[in-house]
Structure 1
Amino acid sequence: MTWDLLLSGGDADIAISGGRIAAIGPGLPRDAREIADVSGCLVTPGLIDLHTHVGPGYWGIDPDPIAWCSGVTTWVDAGSAGAYTVAGLRRVAETAAVRVHALLNISAVGLAGRTGESRDLANCDVALAIDAVQANRDLFHGIKVRIDAETVGANGVEPLRRGLEAAQACGVPVMVHIGTAPPSLDEVLDLLRPGDLMTHCASGIAAPLGPSVRAAAERGVLLDLGHGSGGFAFDVLERQLDAGLLPTTVSTDLHARSLHGPVFDLPTTMAKLLAVGVPLDGVVEAVTTHPARALGLSCGLAVGAPADIAVFDVRKEPFTVVDAHRQTRVSPIRLVNRATYVAGRLLPPRLPAPPAPWIPLTGAQRSALDHRTRAIRDLLTTPLVGVDGLAEQFPRRSK
């Protein structure tokens, strides 16, 4: 049998045919249409980012320009769409090169704007949310509820109660965003069930450090990092680690305001866990098997599995990383993506779109974006090779 692709030279060779892993083992026959040498690389299942925003609206970004150079093959949109805006998110899922799954916002308006989607409880229609999930089971794997003072106004935890009711009816988990009180963190956590997720679990704003956090974790509530532009602080994470609390899943909350910093991408976020002493194998599990288990998604390097694969160079060099509050730490290694495959297809390079006009950027960020644009233009306007790199494709006939 001739395979479509053979990844050779890793801990084990991986053969791919028809978009799935066909064989794994040392010294597989080199009978493949394409052979990629991954010697010395870290080869993982395609990464799963459990908290992103790729749907239309204030926060949304295009996943493909980030995916091809970050190893993230599965993007979970966390609440960009509500029941009124499912069609827009489905168009993203159907046209993206990556796999897009989602959590439905309990507010039917979703995240069309910056905040405030649950101030009007008429938007938090349980029956409508249930119908939206049931009609789109391939897309939605849970319910998302943002609980902070700006988002819910005077409604307290009522949007969460409604989200939990919808989730219970559909047999799916709830992911709850925590932030500025009121309502209090204890009120939020006391409602969560085993298998539900608290995102922004190391938030410097919510500071989830009390006994209610431990109690929630002990009864099976999952802790999701959800970095974002304001949801992660090193000092909070370090205090949690000292107390024996480790994030179950490591996600970026990558969106239009965090893409250009402080998040950047999932490998950079992974380095932030490495910087505080979490072992590499634990960090990899937190972006592969753990999020897959949380939402019932496919993930793994096994014969018959979808050939979603990420290949990384592991550079053993100091790598300074920053949280949402400009605190820095140093990771001992840096993961640099070499290749990203979805269903056995190498994702091609894609240039990102410029930031939307409403995104706040520092002068340094704007300058860096301008520099990057000039560098790309210079690269693409320079002839690819000189005369020595060319062949005469249509030779002239001799007279």
Structure 2
Amino acid sequence: MSWDLLFTGDERDIAVRDGLIAAVGPGLPRDAHRIVDVTGRLVTPGLIDAHTHVGPGYWGIDPDPVAWYSGVTTWVDAGSAGAYTVDGLRRVARAAGVRIHALLNISAVGLAGRTGESRDLANCDVPLAIDTIQADRELFHGVKVRIDSETVGDNGVEPLRRGLAAAEACGVPLMAHIGTAPPALDEVLDLMRPGDLVTHCASGIAAPLGPAVRAAAERGVLLDLGHGSGGFAFDVLEAQLDAGLAPHTVSTDLHARSLHGPVFDLPTTMAKLLAVGVPLDEVVAAVTTRPARALGLPGGSLTVGDPADIAVFEVRPEPLGLVDAHRQVRTSPVRLINEATFVAGRLLPPRLPAPPAPWIPLTDTQRAALDRRGRDIRALLTTPLVDVAGLAEQFPRTEPRSS
């Protein structure tokens, strides 16, 4: 018996064949095409980011240049696409080297623009949303609704009601973005069902700290971090943790405006939970098993028969300063440094990111850092990879025959 790939470690080995986990346990046979020694490393299922934006439009980013150095193998696009724009998301999913799943925006126009997609209720077409989800159940695992004053205008929670109707008809959860009132946060939370997700659950803008949050959590509504460029505050999270309300899932809301800060990537977001005292095993569960179960996604564990989506991390014991969306700072006791990311047993290769879109606001410091990174990459790639000692003569010359 031969494995395609074998991870050997401190306590257990993980064997991969045909893109699936074939065996797990100590002392597996070393008969493998490739053996990866992960002794002393944290080996997790490929991370699942339950709130990202990778579809076309204002917010979307290319996932592959981030995935290979972050360990995120499953990207859930949270509402970039509505029924009118779903073909663009399908093209992204087909081209990506990672797994793309999605939540359909109840607004058929999706997130083509910055905001306002639910101000015209004609866009919030329930039958059309149902038909779109039912036509592609492999891609769509839920419904997304953004509920804040800019997005819904004078429509209050009616877009949410319509999103819930579509989700109920399809038997999938709904994810609700919360932000600036109106509508009132309590009015939003009171409508949500067990298994639905509230994203930006530690928002400094929505400040979800009242009795309605506890009541929602107690009836099974799931709290999702959804960091983003404005959806996470350390002090709100700390107050929630003190009240016994920890996030069920930890997601980035990684998009074109959060990629270069304050989010950066999912391991950095995970470290923010470590900085406020959440144990590492809880943080890992919140980016693997829990989002997989909440959204009915493949993966999320390292058991036989699962996809061989695997991330390898160094847990480096050094302080790491971290910032939230409001420039509050906390310090993690460790850094999570991704060393390798595998999708279906395939090692993801390095990919360079595209420059920010021209409409993305960046500080002078961010622009200078991007310029510096570009120069560093150019210097790295324009320097010969090795010198003469690292080369072999591939086509040796033969001595001419004497006459």
Which TM class, normalised by the smaller chain length? over 0.9
Q: Partner amino acid for 1:389?
A: G
Aligned to 2:75, the other structure's residue is in SS state strand
- Distance (Å, rounded) in 1 between the aligned partners of 2:251 and 2:123: 27
Match for residue 145 of structure 1?
Answer: 145
CA deviations over 1:96-125 (Å, ceiling 9, x no partner) = 000000000000000000000000000000
- Distance (Å, rounded) in 2 between the aligned partners of 1:183 and 1:242: 27
- Distance (Å, rounded) in 1 between the aligned partners of 2:96 and 2:339: 20
Q: Partner amino acid for 1:134?
A: Q
Q: Partner amino acid for 2:189?
A: L
How far did 1:397 drift? 0.6
How far did 1:26 drift? 1.3
Cα contact 1:178–1:206 (8 A) shared by 2:
yes
Match for residue 284 of structure 2?
Answer: 284
How far did 1:23 drift? 1.2
Match for residue 103 of structure 2?
Answer: 103
How far did 1:82 drift? 0.1
How far did 1:391 drift? 0.3
Determine whether 1:377 maps to 2:378.
yes
Match for residue 239 of structure 1?
Answer: 239
CA deviations over 1:176-208 (Å, ceiling 9, x no partner) = 000000000001000000000000000000000
How far did 1:9 drift? 2.1
CA deviations over 1:136-170 (Å, ceiling 9, x no partner) = 11100000000000000000000000000000000
Aligned to 2:15, the other structure's residue is in SS state strand
Determine whether 1:41 maps to 2:41.
yes
Match for residue 339 of structure 1?
Answer: 340
Match for residue 164 of structure 2?
Answer: 164
Aligned to 1:198, the other structure's residue is in SS state strand
Q: Partner amino acid for 1:131?
A: D
Cα contact 1:46–1:341 (8 A) shared by 2:
yes
Cα contact 1:10–1:43 (8 A) shared by 2:
no
Q: Partner amino acid for 1:203?
A: S
- Distance (Å, rounded) in 2 between the aligned partners of 1:25 and 1:212: 45
- Distance (Å, rounded) in 2 between the aligned partners of 1:50 and 1:273: 16
Match for residue 386 of structure 1?
Answer: 387
The equivalences for 1:76-95 within 5 A come to: 76-95=76-95
**Change in CA separation of 1:34 and 1:58 when aligned onto 2, cut-off 3 Å:** same
Match for residue 252 of structure 1?
Answer: 252
Determine whether 1:297 maps to 2:315.
no
Match for residue 261 of structure 1?
Answer: 261
Aligned to 2:23, the other structure's residue is in SS state strand
CA deviations over 1:191-248 (Å, ceiling 9, x no partner) = 0000000000000000000000000000000000000000000000000000000000
Aligned to 2:187, the other structure's residue is in SS state helix
CA deviations over 1:249-308 (Å, ceiling 9, x no partner) = 000000000000000000000000000000000000000001001011122101111100
Aligned to 1:69, the other structure's residue is in SS state helix
Q: Partner amino acid for 2:238?
A: E
Aligned to 1:141, the other structure's residue is in SS state strand
Determine whether 1:229 maps to 2:229.
yes
Determine whether 1:133 maps to 2:130.
no
- Distance (Å, rounded) in 1 between the aligned partners of 2:97 and 2:120: 36
Determine whether 1:366 maps to 2:399.
no
Match for residue 64 of structure 1?
Answer: 64
Match for residue 352 of structure 2?
Answer: 351
RMSD of equivalent CA atoms: 0.6
How far did 1:10 drift? 3.9
Determine whether 1:272 maps to 2:272.
yes
Aligned to 1:320, the other structure's residue is in SS state strand
Q: Name the stretch that deviates more: 10-19 or 235-244.
A: 10-19
Query: If the length of structure 1 is used for normalisation, what is the TM-score?
Result: 0.99
- Distance (Å, rounded) in 2 between the aligned partners of 1:65 and 1:147: 30
How far did 1:48 drift? 0.2
Moved over 6 A (4+): none
Q: Partner amino acid for 2:359?
A: W
Structure 1 residues without counterparts, runs of 5 or longer: none
Aligned to 1:102, the other structure's residue is in SS state strand
- Distance (Å, rounded) in 2 between the aligned partners of 1:210 and 1:23: 47
Match for residue 395 of structure 1?
Answer: 396
- Distance (Å, rounded) in 2 between the aligned partners of 1:313 and 1:397: 48
Match for residue 219 of structure 2?
Answer: 219
- Distance (Å, rounded) in 2 between the aligned partners of 1:319 and 1:27: 36
Aligned to 2:33, the other structure's residue is in SS state strand
How far did 1:22 drift? 1.1
Aligned to 2:4, the other structure's residue is in SS state strand
- Distance (Å, rounded) in 2 between the aligned partners of 1:108 and 1:138: 19
- Distance (Å, rounded) in 1 between the aligned partners of 2:14 and 2:333: 29
Query: If the length of structure 2 is used for normalisation, what is the TM-score?
Result: 0.98
Cα contact 1:240–1:246 (8 A) shared by 2:
yes
Q: Partner amino acid for 2:56?
A: P
- Distance (Å, rounded) in 1 between the aligned partners of 2:11 and 2:264: 29
Match for residue 189 of structure 2?
Answer: 189
Q: Partner amino acid for 1:189?
A: L
- Distance (Å, rounded) in 2 between the aligned partners of 1:66 and 1:11: 29
Q: Partner amino acid for 1:287?
A: V
- Distance (Å, rounded) in 2 between the aligned partners of 1:37 and 1:262: 33
Q: Partner amino acid for 2:190?
A: D
- Distance (Å, rounded) in 2 between the aligned partners of 1:10 and 1:397: 50
- Distance (Å, rounded) in 2 between the aligned partners of 1:2 and 1:293: 32
Cα contact 1:152–1:159 (8 A) shared by 2:
yes
Aligned to 1:48, the other structure's residue is in SS state strand
Structure 2 residues without counterparts, runs of 5 or longer: none
